[in-house]
Amino acid sequence: MEIFPGVIRIKKEIATLNSTPGFRVYDEKLIRKRGKEYRLWDPYRSKLAAAILNGLREFPLHKSGNVLYLGASSGTTASHIADICHKGLIYCVEFSPRMMRDLIHVARIKKNMVPILADARRPEEYIHSIGKVDFIYQDLAQPDQTEILITNSDIFVPKFAMIAIKARSIDVVRKPRDIFKDEIDKLKNKFKIMQVINLRPYDKDHVLVSLKNLL
């Protein structure tokens, strides 16, 4: 059953239609169904998958969407987004040279992924490498993660955004619920808060916030 464009439910799991049949990114299971190949999407490896399984209601991704992914790491979640947006481009910003090596390997196969070695705090470094984007997805373990999203949104002006807020990356002492409230209050100046999803049991002290740009 298709629950969102390009995302299907298989029993208690979800999967994306593999845009590069036969290719695995992180040893995920491949499933053949009605003549098509799907990649199981692991919620313990992907916060977006966890959010979908925990009740995400609005899904702004579509086959022709262009996405700016901040904190793409080795490409696990980005590769599933590339499956969904198979006619669009996924601009994958990653700061770590070690993760970038893995990301480049994935992008050689999934050719709609564009790896960019850069600091997401400095969008001026990659602004000329990126076209118009419809959506920003951010997964960064940084204390100023909310400010990073706002800065990039001011420049690239997406219609929608999602951010995985990691409480322990912001403050290891304060209660996570207080951190989430403060960070969401910052986002309200820029976005309409569409949904806040706790990512337990897949990730502790994380929420994913779904946003619509007020511009």
pLDDT at 138: 98
What is the identity of the amino acid at 171? D
pLDDT at 34: 87
CB 106 within 8 A of CB 25: yes
- Averaged over 122-135, what is the pLDDT? 95
Nearest Cα residue to 68 out of 99, 90, 100: 90
Query: 196 falls in which pLDDT band (50, 70, 90)?
Result: very high
Nearest Cα residue to 96 out of 114, 119, 67, 79: 119
Q: Where are the domains of the chain?
A: 43-213
Give the CATH number of domain 43-213; options: 3.30.460.80, 3.20.20.150, 3.40.50.150, 3.40.605.10: 3.40.50.150
Q: pLDDT tens, 66-96?
A: 999 999 999 999 999 999 999 999 999 999 9
In degrees and rounded to multiples of 5, residue 103 shows phi and psi of -60, -45
pTM of the model: 0.96
Query: 215 falls in which pLDDT band (50, 70, 90)?
Result: confident
Q: What is the mean pLDDT of the chain?
A: 96
CB 159 within 8 A of CB 170: no
How far is 81 from 180, CA to CA, in rounded Å?
25
Q: pLDDT tens, 132-191?
A: 999 999 999 999 999 999 999 999 999 999 999 999 999 999 999 999 999 999 999 999
